[in-house]
Protein backbone atom coordinates (compact mmCIF):
# COMPACT_ATOMS: atom_id res chain seq x y z
CA UNK A 1 0.00 0.00 0.00
CA UNK A 2 2.80 2.43 0.88
CA UNK A 3 4.61 1.53 -2.34
CA UNK A 4 1.48 2.36 -4.33
CA UNK A 5 1.31 5.79 -2.68
CA UNK A 6 4.97 6.42 -3.40
CA UNK A 7 4.46 5.42 -7.02
CA UNK A 8 1.38 7.63 -7.28
CA UNK A 9 3.16 10.71 -5.92
CA UNK A 10 6.24 10.01 -8.02
CA UNK A 11 4.02 9.95 -11.10
CA UNK A 12 2.36 13.20 -10.04
CA UNK A 13 5.70 14.90 -9.56
CA UNK A 14 6.80 13.77 -13.02
CA UNK A 15 3.62 15.14 -14.55
CA UNK A 16 3.94 18.41 -12.64
CA UNK A 17 7.54 18.88 -13.73
CA UNK A 18 6.35 19.09 -17.33
CA UNK A 19 3.87 21.90 -16.55
CA UNK A 20 5.38 25.38 -16.44
CA UNK A 21 5.01 27.29 -13.17
CA UNK A 22 3.19 30.04 -15.01
CA UNK A 23 0.31 27.61 -15.62
CA UNK A 24 0.65 25.55 -12.44
CA UNK A 25 -0.05 28.36 -9.96
CA UNK A 26 -3.39 29.48 -11.46
CA UNK A 27 -4.40 25.84 -11.87
CA UNK A 28 -3.79 25.19 -8.18
CA UNK A 29 -5.72 28.35 -7.25
CA UNK A 30 -8.69 27.30 -9.37
CA UNK A 31 -8.70 23.78 -7.97
CA UNK A 32 -8.48 25.15 -4.42
CA UNK A 33 -11.46 27.44 -5.04
CA UNK A 34 -13.52 24.61 -6.51
CA UNK A 35 -12.57 22.31 -3.64
CA UNK A 36 -13.53 24.96 -1.10
CA UNK A 37 -16.90 25.50 -2.77
CA UNK A 38 -17.59 21.78 -2.79
CA UNK A 39 -16.66 21.37 0.88
CA UNK A 40 -18.70 24.40 1.98
CA UNK A 41 -21.69 23.20 -0.05
CA UNK A 42 -21.44 19.77 1.51
CA UNK A 43 -21.24 21.22 5.03
CA UNK A 44 -24.20 23.54 4.41
CA UNK A 45 -26.33 20.67 3.12
CA UNK A 46 -25.29 18.56 6.11
CA UNK A 47 -26.26 21.36 8.51
CA UNK A 48 -29.58 21.78 6.69
CA UNK A 49 -30.21 18.04 6.92
CA UNK A 50 -29.43 17.83 10.63
CA UNK A 51 -30.71 21.16 11.99
CA UNK A 52 -33.03 22.49 9.30
CA UNK A 53 -33.24 25.77 7.43
CA UNK A 54 -33.31 27.92 10.58
CA UNK A 55 -29.72 26.96 11.35
CA UNK A 56 -28.60 28.09 7.88
CA UNK A 57 -30.48 31.36 8.25
CA UNK A 58 -28.74 31.91 11.59
CA UNK A 59 -25.31 31.16 10.11
CA UNK A 60 -25.89 33.48 7.15
CA UNK A 61 -27.03 36.31 9.48
CA UNK A 62 -23.86 36.20 11.63
CA UNK A 63 -21.95 38.84 9.57
CA UNK A 64 -24.90 41.23 9.80
CA UNK A 65 -25.14 40.67 13.57
CA UNK A 66 -21.41 41.36 13.93
CA UNK A 67 -21.73 44.59 11.91
CA UNK A 68 -24.65 45.72 14.05
CA UNK A 69 -22.72 44.92 17.23
CA UNK A 70 -19.69 46.93 16.05
CA UNK A 71 -21.77 50.05 15.37
pLDDT, tens digit, 9 for 90 and up, residues 16-58: 777 777 787 888 899 999 999 999 999 989 988 888 888 888 8
Is the per-residue pLDDT at 8 higher than 90?
A: no
Is the model's pTM score more than 0.85?
no
Element (H, E) at 67: helix 62-70
User: How far is CA 66 from each of CA 18, 53, 55, 70, rounded to the nearest angstrom?
Assistant: 47, 21, 17, 6
DSSP class of 22 = H
Has residue 71 got a pLDDT over 70?
no
Q: What is the pLDDT of residue 23?
A: 80
Amino acid sequence: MIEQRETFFAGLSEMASGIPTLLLVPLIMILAAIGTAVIVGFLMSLIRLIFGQKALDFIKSIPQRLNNAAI
